[in-house]
Every structure is written in structure tokens, then in C-alpha cells.
């Protein structure tokens, strides 16, 4: 939506294709906040924000992109406030800021613990306002499936119309992917059912490079057993992490930052505690009791609601059972600092993209900021390019549509075979087991075999719903196909990275970071129905790799 708004304001005729109504997208589930060095709570600067982000990325982030993010974030936040965003305020009535993990200053602007929710609604408000002024069509519940490429340009998307049924071709002079992540590849995830890596798979299959796909962030505080997110803001407000005995174990892993170390560090520490038998039901505990009812009810009401609803725990009186869960994909479609991919006409922004501002580990509060800042940049660049492109028509659209029809018919005509859900569940369970917080060579190898076996079974998958109207049985089957290919890409990249960096941790064979051999991005392309790996340099400015401790 941020990209669409900017493209519209730049003067383009804009359409949004979304498999959900726009306010249902998973950005709305972000809780804790959005990072910008406003300096409202303590002294801060874009340079400090950039440094924290570079260090947090374990030096794999592209530093020019990170500097852009840090420098442009404050202006973007003020704009959101002017648009009406309902942020929390400090005693002076300015935007309040709270501490977040691995941040040198309280930098996270927030709205209690529903920051993503208020952001997504203010964007939709601005979108509706613009719809009164000019063409800004939303193709709601259109499932984007394949990119259409003609003469070396991206010219459209083949979509399945969920409400009415049928394949539809949506064309454009430039196209911005903003389809989010793929947490659903794991059984334990904070991500919505919609997060299946659709956009990454579309780009991959169109021949585009995916970058740093081995880096999946595990959020340290996902609720047991449901897996929903309990915000980092709980620790930002002063929450403790404790083990079975009540010990604040983070003191042993990150003596300075304690609970507010970066997410990869906290998730590894928790996993070590749990595997060491110091957990409770495969979880550790997030203790907010000392914050008191008033603070919990004003700053963290959503977390309390989630804990009470899904775990039957009232955090005012009892600690919340939490464990690491797949949360955010640092990798994605490789783009430049304007969101442009290597394919003319195709842009990407947000979690689907890899600029890369997050490198090997993202800091909490930086992803919402990335969607806003780089969404705006991608929207502007896409619009400027579209406004000077002479031709919006495509000659090959019909052929792409016919290809898609044929493949879809093959899937729908199949009546004998396996239902997708077992394949999906097995993929989720094995990815968590073998490509989770800690990664071991034998388990990664066996995961590759598992993925191959699941891909073969997927060839015989059966869609029961043969109808046109709201056929989510079909779209869920298509999503599974994407996830299987992306899982392969991830594990292959993970095996090749023989070091431990950020969220990629190999404690048994390569426990340390190896800048000599691996200070580079992993690049994966799809060739002859298989992923092919290469590397690319990290763009450095002034931050040299240092030992990373918290």
C-alpha cells in the first residue's frame, strides 16, 4: 500500500493486486513498533541507528541501504503521523519511543502493542482518500501466481480470481512485488496463513535471483502452544526471560544487553536452555509480573489478550510460556536501493525483497520501517519508470494465460492422489527440526532428501474443490508448491554457508563467523527445475566487521 500511494502521488495509474483485502495483510500483526532515530526519548542519530543495524545484521547487511533507511526513517514517521497514525505519546505529547533489542537508544516508535495494525489502517485510509481523486483500483482476493515477461521486461501478473474464479491477466508498465514472507514453511511460526513466499517463488521461477535465503529469523517470544507473536516490546518495557527455576538466564549469554540482546542471540540462548532441560514444556517463560497491571494494560494490552486467549495465562499474575518460532525472512528477491530488480519493470519491497538492510539478522522494529521507507522508494521508482514507458500492452499475455490455464487444468483434473495437508505439515515439522535455530550438516542433508521426497509427492497432489467460487483449496495447493521450492533454496544455501552468522548457526561444525570466506551474499537462481547458487559482495561504506557481542 505504501508503494501504491507513492506511485499514485507520483502521477501513475495504479492498481493493487492482493490475495487478501489490504487491511488483512500480515503487516497488521506487527506489534512492538517501528524504528526511527527521532531522539524523543534519549539522544539518538541516524548514524547510531545505522551502526546498530549493521552490527545486528552480523555485517551482512548492505551498508548503503542501511544508511538510507536510517536517514529517511524519521521523515517517513512524521509523514505517517501527519496522515493520522495513532501513535503512543510521551509526557510532552511527542511520539513515544521504547527500547528494543540491540538498539543503542530507545528508538522504537509504537502504538501500545498494535503498531502494525494502526499503520496498515492509516495506509488504507490514505488509499481510500486517493481513490476519491483518481484511478487506484484494488483487485481484492486476486491470487498472484506467475509473472509475465516479454522482451526482457516484466509486463504483468497471471492471477486467480478467488471470488469469481478463473485466471485473470493484470498488466502494468511496472510491477512492485510486496507479498511478504514465508514463515508458513515452518510449523512453529508467528506468520499468518497467507505468508507462503508467493512473490519470492514468482520471481524465482521467472529467473530472478533470490538473495540470502538461508537466513530465517526465529523470534524469541512466540506463544506456546499456538505460536502467535508476543512482542519484543514486552522486553522493551522491562520484561524478564526466565527458565524453569526462575533464573534470568540471559545474563549468562548476553551479560550487558540481557533480554534485549539481538533476536538471534536470544533465540539461541532459549533453545540452549530448553535443550538443556531447563525449560517448561519445551518453552521458557516471559515474566511481566513486576511491571504491574497498570503498565501491562496501557503498554501491552494486546499481548495480555493473546496470552489470556491462547494460553489461558494472565501475565499480570503468571509468566507467559514462550519459545522461538519462525518469524521473518531476511532474504528475498534481490533489489537495489530503489527496489528495482535485475528485470526491467519489476520492483520489490518489504519482506519479499532483500535490499539488504537486515543481512543475517534483523533488528526488531526495522521491518515495519523497511516496508515504509523502501515501499515508498519502490513506488516512486516504479511510477517514474512507468510514466516514461511508451507501451502498456502485452502481446504475450494471452500465451502466458493459456500456459497457466493448461497447468491449472492438469492440477484440477487430477482426482487420484494425495491431499496437500500432509505434505504441508511434514514440510513444516521437518524444516523446524532440521533447519531451525541450530543447524547441523547431517540434518540439513537429510532435509534436502525430505524436500525432494515431498516434491515428488506434490506431483500427485489432489485438489478436491473443482469449483470457481472462493476455491482456497486450489490456492493453498499452489502455495504449497511455492514453499517446497523455496525450502530447497533455503537449505541448499544453508549447507553452502560453512560458518555461523546471524540467524544461521552451525554449532557443531562451523561455530564462528568466517569473514575470510563468507562475507558475501548467497545468490540463488532457478535453472532447469533446480536452484543454482552463486555469491555477491556485500556493499560496505564505513563499518568494518567487528566481533559481535551484546
Q: Which residues between 385 and 424 bind another protein (CB under 8 A)?
A: 419, 421
C-alpha of 524 from chain center: 18
**Cβ-based nearer residue to another protein, 117 or 506:** 117
Per rule CB under 8 A, is residue 252 in the interface with another protein? yes
Chain positions 256 to 315 lying near another protein, rule: CB under 8 A, are 285, 287, 289-290, 293, 297, 302, 305-306, 309-310, 314
User: Can you tell me which residue has the cell 486517493?
Assistant: 130
Q: Which of 430, 410, 337 is nearest to 378 (CA)?
A: 337
Q: Which of 218, 245, 219 is nearest to 319 (CA)?
A: 245
Per rule CB under 8 A, is residue 137 in the interface with another protein? no
Residues that contact another protein, how many (by CB under 8 A): 81
- What are the angstrom distances between the C-alpha of 253 and each of 215, 221, 261, 265? 21, 17, 9, 8
**Cβ-based nearer residue to another protein, 419 or 542:** 419
**Cβ-based nearer residue to another protein, 252 or 393:** 252
Residues 11-40: x/- map of binding to another protein (CB under 8 A)?
---------xx-xxxx-xx-----------
**Cβ-based nearer residue to another protein, 116 or 365:** 116
**SS3 for 150?**
strand
Question: Dihedral of CA 381/384/385/386: which sign?
Answer: positive
Distance of closest approach, residue 46 Cβ to another protein, in angstroms: 15
- What are the angstrom distances between the C-alpha of 284 and each of 4, 191, 203, 327? 41, 20, 38, 17
**Cβ-based nearer residue to another protein, 111 or 524:** 111
Per rule CB under 8 A, is residue 128 in the interface with another protein? yes
Q: Is 263 a catalytic residue?
A: yes
Chain positions 171 to 190 lying near another protein, rule: CB under 8 A, are none
Per rule CB under 8 A, is residue 226 in the interface with another protein? yes
**Cβ-based nearer residue to another protein, 181 or 502:** 181
Which of 184, 235, 263, 323 is the catalytic position? 263
**Cβ-based nearer residue to another protein, 117 or 501:** 117
User: Whole-angstrom Cα distance, residue 548 to residue 338?
Assistant: 29
Per rule CB under 8 A, is residue 246 in the interface with another protein? yes
Distance of closest approach, residue 22 Cβ to another protein, in angstroms: 10
User: Whole-angstrom Cα distance, residue 97 to residue 110?
Assistant: 7
Chain positions 451 to 470 lying near another protein, rule: CB under 8 A, are 463-470
Chain positions 309 to 338 lying near another protein, rule: CB under 8 A, are 309-310, 314, 316-319
**SS3 for 38?**
coil
Of 143, 145, 160, 240, the residue at the interface with another protein (CB under 8 A) is: 240
Chain positions 35 to 74 lying near another protein, rule: CB under 8 A, are none
The cell numbers describing 240, all together, are 524478564
DSSP letter for each residue of 474-533: HHHHHHHHHHHHHHHHHHHHHHH--S-BTTB-BTTTB-S--HHHH-EEEEEEEETTEEEE
Classify each residue of 331-363 as buried b or exposed e, where b means 16 or more C-beta atoms within 10 Å of its C-beta. Answer: bbbbbbbbbbbebebbbbbbbbbbbbbbbbbbb
Distance of closest approach, residue 117 Cβ to another protein, in angstroms: 6
**Cβ-based nearer residue to another protein, 468 or 515:** 468
Distance of closest approach, residue 469 Cβ to another protein, in angstroms: 5
Question: Around Cβ 307, how many Cβ atoms within 10 Å?
Answer: 27
User: Whole-angstrom Cα distance, residue 489 to residue 214?
Assistant: 8
Q: What are phi and psi of 222, to 5 degrees?
A: -110, 140
**H or E segment and range at residue 241:** strand 240-242
**SS3 for 433?**
helix
Q: Of the ranges 52-60, 153-161, 222-230, 368-376, which one interacts with another protein (CB under 8 A)? A: 222-230
Per rule CB under 8 A, is residue 543 in the interface with another protein? no
Distance of closest approach, residue 307 Cβ to another protein, in angstroms: 11
Q: Of the ranges 56-64, 90-98, 383-391, 540-548, which one interacts with another protein (CB under 8 A)? A: 90-98
Chain positions 488 to 507 lying near another protein, rule: CB under 8 A, are none
Would you please indicate which residues are annotated as catalytic (active-site) residues? 263
Amino acid at each position: 500500500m505504501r508503494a501504491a500511494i507513492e506511485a499514485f502521488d507520483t502521477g501513475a495509474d495504479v492498481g493493487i493486486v492482493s490475495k487478501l483485502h489490504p487491511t488483512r495483510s500480515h503487516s497488521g500483526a506487527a506489534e512492538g513498533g517501528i524504528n526511527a532515530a527521532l531522539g524523543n526519548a534519549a539522544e539518538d542519530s541516524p548514524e547510531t541507528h545505522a551502526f546498530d543495524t549493521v552490527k545486528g545484521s552480523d555485517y551482512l547487511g548492505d551498508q548503503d541501504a542501511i544508511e538510507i533507511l536510517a536517514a529517511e526513517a524519521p521523515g517517513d514517521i512524521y509523514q505517517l503521523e501527519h496522515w493520522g497514525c495513532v501513535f503512543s505519546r510521551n509526557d510532552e505529547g511527542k511520539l513515544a519511543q521504547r527500547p528494543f533489542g540491540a538498539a543503542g537508544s530507545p528508538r522504537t516508535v509504537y502504538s501500545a502493542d498494535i503498531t502494525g495494525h494502526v499503520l496498515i489502517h492509516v495506509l488504507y485510509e490514505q488509499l481510500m482518500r486517493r481513490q476519491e481523486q483518481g484511478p487506484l483500483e484494488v483487485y481484492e482476493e486476486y491470487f498472484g501466481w506467475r509473472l509475465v515477461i516479454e522482451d526482457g521486461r516484466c509486463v504483468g501478473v497471471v492471477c486467480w480470481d478467488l471470488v469469481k474464479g478463473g485466471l485473470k491477466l493484470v498488466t502494468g508498465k511496472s510491477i512492485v512485488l510486496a507479498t511478504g514472507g514465508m514463515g508458513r514453511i515452518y510449523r512453529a511460526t508467528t506468520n499468518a496463513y497467507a505468508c507462503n513466499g508467493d512473490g519470492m517463488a514468482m520471481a524465482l521461477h521467472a529467473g530472478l535471483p533470490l538473495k540470502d535465503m538461508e537466513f530465517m529469523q526465529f523470534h524469541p517470544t512466540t506463544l506456546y502452544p499456538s505460536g502467535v507473536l508476543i512482542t519484543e516490546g514486552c522486553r522493551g518495557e522491562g520484561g524478564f526471560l526466565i527458565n524453569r527455576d526462575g533464573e534470568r538466564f540471559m545474563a549468562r549469554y548476553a551479560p550487558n544487553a540481557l533480554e534485549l540482546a539481538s533476536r538471534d542471540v536470544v533465540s539461541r540462548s532459549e533453545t540452549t536452555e530448553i535443550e538443556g532441560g531447563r525449560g517448561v514444556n519445551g518453552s521458557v517463560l516471559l515474566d511481566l509480573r513486576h511491571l504491574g497491571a497498570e503498565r501491562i494494560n496501557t503498554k501491552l494490552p494486546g499481548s495480555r489478550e493473546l496470552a489470556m486467549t491462547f494460553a489461558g495465562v494472565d501475565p499480570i499474575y503468571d509468566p507467559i510460556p514462550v519459545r522461538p518460532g519462525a518469524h521473518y525472512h531476511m532474504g528475498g528477491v534481490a533489489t537495489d536501493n530503489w527496489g528495482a530488480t535485475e528485470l526491467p519493470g519489476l520492483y520489490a519491497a518489504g519482506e519479499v525483497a532483500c535490499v539488504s538492510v537486515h543481512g543475517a539478522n534483523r533488528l526488531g522494529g526495522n521491518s515495519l520501517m523497511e516496508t515504509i521507507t523502501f515501499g515508498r522508494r519502490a513506488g516512486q521508482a516504479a511510477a517514474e519508470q512507468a510514466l516514461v514507458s511508451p507501451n502498456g500492452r502485452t502481446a504475450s499475455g494471452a500465451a502466458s494465460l493459456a500456459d497457466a490455464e493448461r497447468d491449472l487444468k492438469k492440477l484440477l483434473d487430477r482426482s487420484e492422489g494425495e491431499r496437500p495437508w500432509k505434505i504441508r505439515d511434514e514440510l513444516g515439522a521437518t524444516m523446524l527440526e532440521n533447519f531451525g535455530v541450530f543447524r547441523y550438516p547431517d540434518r540439513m542433508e537429510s532435509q534436502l532428501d525430505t524436500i525432494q521426497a515431498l516434491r515428488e509427492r506434490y506431483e500427485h497432489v489432489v485438489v478436491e474443490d473443482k469449483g470457481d467460487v472462493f476455491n482456497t483449496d486450489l490456492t493453498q495447493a499452489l502455495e504449497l508448491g511455492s514453499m517446497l521450492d523455496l525450502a530447497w533454496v533455503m537449505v541448499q544455501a544453508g549447507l553452502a554457508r560453512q560458518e555461523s552468522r546471524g540467524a544461521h548457526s552451525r554449532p557443531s561444525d562451523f561455530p564462528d563467523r568466517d569473514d575470510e570466506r563468507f562475507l558475501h551474499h548467497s545468490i540463488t537462481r532457478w535453472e532447469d527445475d533446480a536452484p543454482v547458487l552463486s555469491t555477491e559482495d556485500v556493499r560496505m561504506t564505513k563499518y568494518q566487521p567487528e566481533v559481535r557481542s551484546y
